Amino acid sequence: MILRALLALLLLVLTATAQAAVLTEGPLSVTVPESVGEGQIFLVEISLTNQVETVLVEWMGRATEVTMTKRGNAFKGELLLGAGLGTKHAPQTILVEALRPNRREMVLGKIAVTAVAFPEQRLSLPPSMVTPSKENLARIKREQEQVNAVLAVASPRKFWNFPFLRPVPGEVTSAFGLRRILNGQPRSPHSGIDLDAMMADPVLAANQGRVALTGDFYFNGKSVFLDHGQGVYTMYFHLSRIDVTPGQHVERGHLVGLAGSTGRSTGPHLHFGMKILGQSVDPMPLFTAGGAFDRQAKGGS
Ligand SMILES: [Zn+2]
């Protein structure tokens, strides 16, 4: 617990000292952090003094449109991005383009991705529990392809707004990025957070969005994937019941299902995950009171 508190404190200090850079060209101005830790979320703020057709942002091999809103004499837009788990600790390029009928403005920036000290956990389990059967391997592959196909598409419309809602009130029982070593073999690190929950506790949508996918998967059990627009997805795993259907629009706080222990799970809890343009990021800073993301939506939208 003390270690976890120290890590949380360290993270806060890192977030607080991150310097912002302002990139400009003509009427286009973009604010980005100079550095971001592996697995961390950051905010990009875009301002334009004239109207454009489309604003496009490219980051880590993916792109999204940004919804711009008129505010006073300017047009403003914001998006969440992240340097996902496994990102190389090196400068990464961000490209922002503002397109008008006969010209375009473009800024190019570098954001340094820095190492984060993730906790480690060593576990011993009977080999039969660790290695799935041939049939199950085929099922896992099929399900992974289905999920990847859904996550590859992002609604260009921005549905999300600050603040984000913690989907269940429980404590974090397994942190983001936890390096799991199973029978001496390193496994993929924990790509989300486990939140303590009782069987059948309500699980709420973290923000406004569209239900992109539901299903009962080998590892993740009964699952809901929400598309919040501009590449932001949230995921709710191991549910005992699903209360939404694909295509449905949900508001922040909408009941998506009930907590459970379906799939590969040792007891009732909610695994909550977040991906932004395919990058697995730590959602906890979004729920931290007084943190960088504890803010209300800016007017206009
Ligand atoms: Zn988990």
Q: Looking at domain 2-114, which of 3.40.50.300, 3.40.50.10540, 3.20.190.10, 2.60.40.10 is its CATH number?
A: 2.60.40.10
Per-residue pLDDT of the chain (301 residues; tens, 9 = 90+): 566 665 555 555 555 456 899 999 988 999 999 999 999 999 999 999 988 889 999 999 999 999 999 998 899 999 999 999 999 999 999 999 999 888 889 999 999 999 999 999 898 877 777 788 899 999 999 999 999 999 999 888 999 999 999 999 999 999 999 998 888 888 889 999 999 999 999 999 999 999 999 999 999 999 999 999 999 999 999 999 999 999 999 999 999 999 999 998 889 999 999 999 999 999 999 998 888 888 775 543 4
The alpha carbon of 191 and the centre of ligand 1 are apart by a number of angstroms equal to 7
CATH of 120-287, one of 3.40.50.300, 3.60.21.70, 3.30.565.10, 2.70.70.10: 2.70.70.10
- How far is ligand 1, taken at its centre, from the CA of residue 233, in Å? 16
Residue 203 CB coordination number (10 Å): 27
Question: How remote is the CA of residue 194 from the centroid of ligand 1, in Å?
Answer: 5
Ligand 1 center to residue 275 CA distance, Å?
A: 14
Separation of first and last alpha carbons in the chain: 40
- Ligand 1 center to residue 223 CA distance, Å? 12
pTM of the full structure: 0.90
Give distance in angstroms: CA of 34 to centre of ligand 1: 30
Any alpha helices (H) in the chain, and if so which ranges? 2-17, 127-130, 134-151
Q: Where are the domains of the chain?
A: 2-114, 120-287
Determine the Cα–Cα distance for residues 58 and 64; give it in Å rounded to an integer. Answer: 7
* Residue pair 96/30 in contact by the 8 Å Cβ criterion: yes
Give the Å distance between the CA of 2 and the centre of ligand 1.
21
> Residue 229 carries which DSSP code?
S
Those residues whose beta carbon sits under 5 angstroms from the ion ligand 1 are 194, 271
- d(CA 234, ligand 1 centre) in Å: 13
